[in-house]
Every structure is written in structure tokens, then in C-alpha cells.
Structure 1
Amino acid sequence: MPKAKLLDAIASKNRGILATPLEKQAILAAITELEFRNPHPRPLTTAIDLLAGNWRLLYTSSQSLLGIDKFPLVTLGTIYQCIRPTTSAVYNIAEVASFVPGLNGLVAIVAKFTAVSEARVNVQFNRSVIGLQRLIDYSDPDRLIMEIENGRKFTAIDLPISRPTDKAPAWLEITYLDEDLRISRGNEGSVFVLTKSNS
């Protein structure tokens, strides 16, 4: 089964951090094979309920995400992408574990999305929150999102994001979606494999 083949290929690769160039090629081939079997090719119009919720990252080729693991004294923890179709909002949340007690961190990016096709959205990033989990009082993605939506300002680097008007919009295309697995491809050429999370 292509899905089992992909999950087996990425199981021990730590979101892609440990994947060799040859393994990355094999994983991309497995992703492409599964995309051809996409049960919901028009997710934004026919499977929006499946799309909604919190998704945990299993694998990515995005070096901007995986690069967080290269900072000294920290290691990349769980990464979530939380989609809220009713408010056209997406929240990217990366937990960062520190080898120093009490210094676990968090990187959260808030964005709005606009559908431009039945499978692709343009993404407008508008806020970043970067800080220590204990100062943010972070416990889980749902609570953080609720506080963001309620307008809370955090004891953190809490800044608006603006994209230059002359740059093409960022976009994300959903290339595979079922009840517990999603594959997306982004405008920078990165691929993302995520599983539905109970968190």
C-alpha cells in the first residue's frame, strides 16, 4: 500500500532532519505515488471538514523549519499546523526543547488563507510569536490559538508580519487528504506530510 510505504519511509527520519539525500529522493517518490491516489482532489470544496483541525508534522523538506534544530542547546520538538476554515486562519506552531531546564521555546506563525482553486490557498502571514513556553504560559495548540484569537499580547517577541507588495503571494496546495493524513506542497518547493492530531 502506498500510504503504508510512505509512513514506513519517513518513520525514523525525525521530520526529515535525519534523511540522507538518497532517502529524500525515495520519500519524494513515495509521496508522489500516494498523491496519484488522492481520495479528495478538491478538498477546499468537498472535504473542508477533514481539512479542519490540528495536524502534526511527520516529514518536510523545508529547510527553514528543519533549520530550527541547528540552533545551539535546542532541539526541534513537535510541529503543528492548525487549520480553522471558519475564520480562514492557519497557525503554524513549533515547540522547541532546550537542554537548559526552563528554557523550552515556542515559534508560532499566524496567517490567513484565501482559496484560489479547489486545492490551493494563498497564505498571508500576519503575526509571529517567539518566546519561552513558560512565559507564554503555553500548554497546547488549542489554548494558544484561543488566546491569540482573544487578542492576547504575549511576553515574547510578538510582532506583525508584512510581505512586500511586489512579492508573489505565498501559497500551499493540498495534494493528498484523507481522514488522518495530509500532504501539501508550498510555493518554495517544500513538501509537507502531516497526520491529524488529538492535541
Structure 2
Amino acid sequence: MANLRQELLGSELTWYTAFSELLPLLAVGTIPLLKVERICQEINTGSLTIENSITLSSPVASFSFSASASFEVRSPSRIQVQFKEGTLKPPEIKSSVDLPESIDLFGQKINLSPARQVVNPLQDAVAGIARSISGQSPLKIPIPGERAASWLLVTYLDKDLRISRGDGGLFVLAKEGSPLLDQ
């Protein structure tokens, strides 16, 4: 197992991605027309910060949320984390609504052709909304108090995978670019 201090401090920026760490969000993948596009953790050792982010996508828009934190390496395998703020980015409205032909809902195939015919004339209105929302600033939400503090104990670390546990649960993360993500 690599030393956490060497891994974290050996490079300026490291990205991890994990679907297992946000299991409640995986349920989103079972909601018709809404899917998890990306889950990512960016570690910046230069500024000793972490940013956890997720992007959800629908036929109409993409939604991005993130939480930023500072961290301190306490031992070769433990870090102390202090969350600072959450960020809700304005939705990215798609220039066209991309409804599938059909969806599966509770084991039944639902034909969306009638809905697609209704949506097609609304494309120009959707494009106008996209232009007006695109310039908005993200909403920053401070994360105050004791609940913002956390710890993380790395139990396994190699060039592709990090397994950690903390007061928030068990986290299995693959480094971006790892062949593990191609499976």
C-alpha cells in the first residue's frame, strides 16, 4: 500500500471518481429520464483542498452540485477534513429537448412519441431559457458548525484505487484514467 502522504503530496492535483460513495444518488439512475453523468473528487495538494462534485442529466438540463473542503494530513493514512461550502451551479439548459422514444417504468415500456410531438414546437422557448440562465452565478452555501468536520482513514491505496472509511461511511474511489473505470 502506498503511503497517503506520498500519494497526496507527491502530485499537485489528483481526481477520483466513485459511484459507490454516493449510493443514494445512484437511485437517481433508476428514475426515468434522470441519470448520473459524473461523480468526482478533486484533491489539490497545493492548496490542501478537496472538491466533491456530481452532475445529473435530464433530457432538458444538466445539474451540478459540489462541496469544497480543506484537509490536513494527520498521519500516513489519516486526514482531517473541514467542509467549507456547497455550490449549486445554475442548470445548463440544453438547446434541444432530447426525449427517448420510450422509457421503462416499473417494468412497463412507456411510449414517449406523443410527448416528443408536443415538445418539438417548444424547442425555441427552451433555447431562450438556456440563454437567459447561462450567465447566472452559482449559489454558494456555507457549511457551518461541527457537522462540517470529518475524518478519513485510507485503508487501501494503489495507483488506481483508494478505499477509505470515515465518519461518513465506506468510500471506494478509482483514479480518473484508471482501466478500472473502463469495466
Coordinate RMSD, CA, aligned: 2.9
- Assess, with a 3 A threshold, how the Cα gap between structure 1 residues 87 and 186 changes in structure 2: closer, same or farther: same
- Assess, with a 3 A threshold, how the Cα gap between structure 1 residues 133 and 55 changes in structure 2: closer, same or farther: farther
User: How far did 1:69 drift?
Assistant: 4.5
User: How far did 1:105 drift?
Assistant: 0.7
User: How far did 1:107 drift?
Assistant: 0.8
- Assess, with a 3 A threshold, how the Cα gap between structure 1 residues 168 and 129 changes in structure 2: closer, same or farther: closer
Residue aligned with 2:92, SS: helix
**Which residue does 1:186 correspond to in 2?**
166
Residue aligned with 2:140, SS: strand
User: Between the two proteins, what is the percent identity of the paired residues?
Assistant: 24
**Which residue does 1:108 correspond to in 2?**
66
- Assess, with a 3 A threshold, how the Cα gap between structure 1 residues 65 and 87 changes in structure 2: closer, same or farther: farther
More strand by share: 2
**Which residue does 1:155 correspond to in 2?**
137
**Which residue does 2:17 correspond to in 1?**
56
Q: Which consecutive residues of structure 1, in runs of 5 or more, have no partner in the other structure?
A: 1-38, 136-153
Residue aligned with 2:152, SS: strand
**Which residue does 1:96 correspond to in 2?**
56
- Assess, with a 3 A threshold, how the Cα gap between structure 1 residues 179 and 63 changes in structure 2: closer, same or farther: closer
User: How far did 1:186 drift?
Assistant: 2.3
**Which residue does 2:79 correspond to in 1?**
121
Residue aligned with 2:46, SS: helix
Q: Which consecutive residues of structure 2, in runs of 5 or more, have no partner in the other structure?
A: 94-135, 179-183
- Assess, with a 3 A threshold, how the Cα gap between structure 1 residues 90 and 74 changes in structure 2: closer, same or farther: same
Distance, in Å, in 1 between the alignment partners of 2:142 and 2:30 is 25
> Aligned AA for 2:75?
S
Taking structure 2 as the reference length, the TM-score comes to 0.61
- Assess, with a 3 A threshold, how the Cα gap between structure 1 residues 193 and 54 changes in structure 2: closer, same or farther: closer
Residue aligned with 1:47, SS: helix
- Assess, with a 3 A threshold, how the Cα gap between structure 1 residues 112 and 73 changes in structure 2: closer, same or farther: same
> Aligned AA for 1:196?
E
**Which residue does 1:43 correspond to in 2?**
4
**Which residue does 1:83 correspond to in 2?**
43
**Which residue does 1:132 correspond to in 2?**
90
**Which residue does 1:196 correspond to in 2?**
176
- 1:55-74 matched pairs, under 5 angstroms: 55-57=16-18, 59-66=19-26, 69=29, 73-74=33-34
Taking structure 1 as the reference length, the TM-score comes to 0.57
